[in-house]
Amino acid sequence: MLTPIGAPIMANPEFDAEPDAVRELLTLQRRSADALAGFVTMVEKAEPEFRPVVDRFRALHNRHNAALTAMLIRHGQEPDAEGSFMGSLNKAMVSLRALFDDIDGSSMDSIRKGEEPVLDAFDDALAAPGLPPADAMDLKALRDELTLLLLDTRHAEGI
């Protein structure tokens, strides 16, 4: 999992997020870390023809987690490097499914359902009062990237 290394950027009170926005950013970062944990395991267990699809999701959540971590550090917050209990649950569920079923295109419905809480967390963070405009622009771009990946991989069910 990527985390920024080095001295955190000095907080600028003019551009600091309000407490509600920070809380929503933390929730979003945790959900991204949870999704990343599941996709790391899924890449290991996926059928070879489906692995590139899963790896795209893993790479996206890795980048998103790094960006959200950096954003939280800029606001003087301690990101959650490990995510929540859901990350461990995601890994366990993927491993269990791999025992009884293939991790292939038939997994796309589960992947889409698993991305819903991440998309909801983006929406909650974007709607939070006190989110700096620059952060809102960055979050919209990240959300759009996830939405586009979901659209781009809708054909993957047949893999």
> Domain range for residue 92?
18-154
| pTM of the predicted model over 0.85 | no
Q: What is the CATH number of the domain that holds 129?
A: 1.20.1260.10
pLDDT in tens, 120-140: 999 999 999 999 999 999 999
Contact 42, 105 (CB under 8 A): no
Q: What pLDDT does residue 21 have? A: 93
- 89 in a structural domain: yes
Chain CA centroid to CA 43, Å: 15
- Note the residue count of the chain: 159
CA proximity to 14, closest of 135, 126, 121, 137:
135
- CA angle at 37 for the pair 90 and 135, rounded to the nearest 5°: 115
Residue 6 falls within a domain, yes or no? Answer: no
User: How is residue 25 written in tokens?
Assistant: 């950013």
Interval 70-100: pLDDT, tens: 999 999 998 876 655 454 444 444 444 443 3
Q: How far apart are the first and last CA of the chain?
A: 28
Assigned domain for 110 exists: yes
User: Is 29 within a domain?
Assistant: yes
Q: Is residue 102 part of a domain?
A: yes
> 112 lies in a domain?
yes
- Total domains, the chain: 1
Q: Mean pLDDT lowest for which of 4-8, 14-18, 60-64, 69-73?
A: 4-8
Q: Sign of torsion, CA 147 149 150 155?
A: positive
Whether 2 maps to a domain, the answer reads no
The answer on pLDDT for 158 being more than 80 is no
Position 39 in a domain: yes
**pLDDT cut 90: percent of the chain above it:** 57
